Chain A
Amino acid sequence: MMKREIGAADIEVFSNAICEYFEAASGELAQVRSAYLLEGEYPELWSGYHGVIPVHGSFVGSVCFSAPKPLLTHVLMLMGDKSFSEASHLDLVGEIANTLSGQARKHFGETLCINPPLAFNGKHKPVSPKGTGKPYAIPFTWRNYEAGLVVDLIVA
């Protein structure tokens, strides 16, 4: 199979997954903005927590969900979590990354093999498996919190 970079139709699947996730969590849609090629620094607005899903199978690369702590605290509250611990925040950021990646299998099929999430807390995006090296960033707002998803995949 020829190597192929993912395109607009592929990215739309992840944008839709973001909308579905936050609608299910809160009944409120996230305001997802246009995706763009992330060529420079990782957006500082998203700094906080990062959940990375390494991908293998017919695809190579990773999907990274990033969000500030207050967004995650808000979702934990909606889920009935009472601890609001560091472990809960790390767990949730990984779980959201996992859910958004899993949703994409509706479009890509089972050959998008998803590994369990890696979760980090820090200002900078963690090093994650590279696909194209030209990742797409999908920024969104939910309840005034800024967050985003970075998709770096190539069809191997």
Chain B
Amino acid sequence: MRLMIVDDSMVIRNRIAILSSNPLLGYVDIVAMASDGEQALALARSKQPDIITMDLTMPNMDGEECIGHLAKILPEARILVVSALSDRVTALRAIRNGAHGFLLKPFRDEELLNSLLELKQ
């Protein structure tokens, strides 16, 4: 699994990186970490991740816009939104724009693992 982690919080990026080293997920290569949508797009082109975790509320370019671009430039990549935005409309719109899953913050360790396992299958 080639994983890219996109979140404006360094603490959350590190937490996802730590959890993704769980053996249940098999070999995970963290190919990139980005703190906003613009950086994520540039890194996606060069690093070609196949799974992406994506925050929504970020500076410069937010996650919703970034998902729309990623769906075009990396159509095979699977995107898991990891966000605190808890309203139904936002979740549905993210899925419609190209995300494959939605995990609400705050999340427990096992919830992230299960979400990544589902995306991997």
Contacts and interface: CB of A to CB of B under 8 A. Distances in A.
Interface of A: 20-21, 24-25, 76, 79-81, 87-88, 91-92, 94-95, 98-106, 108-110, 114-116
B90 interface: yes
B11 A95 contact: yes
Nearest to A114: B57
Interface in B92-121: 105-108
7 contacts: A20-B106, A80-B18, A91-B9, A100-B84, A102-B83, A105-B85, A110-B85
Nearest to A22: B106
Nearest to B56: A102
Contact of B15 (A81, A99, A108): A81
A5 B84 CA distance: 24
A105 B87 contact: yes
Q: Is the interface of A mostly helix, strand, loop or mixed?
A: helix
Interface of B: 8-12, 14-15, 18-19, 57-59, 83-87, 89-90, 105-108
Contact of B86 (A80, A87, A88, A106): A106
B87 A106 contact: yes
Query: Lowest 5 CB-CB distances: which A-B pairs, in order?
Result: A102-B84, A24-B106, A106-B86, A105-B87, A99-B84
Contact of B10 (A80, A91, A108): A91
Given A21-B106, A79-B14, A98-B57, 16 more contacts: A24-B108, A25-B106, A79-B15, A91-B9, A92-B9, A98-B9, A98-B84, A99-B106, A102-B86, A102-B105, A103-B84, A108-B87, A110-B89, A114-B57, A114-B85, A116-B8
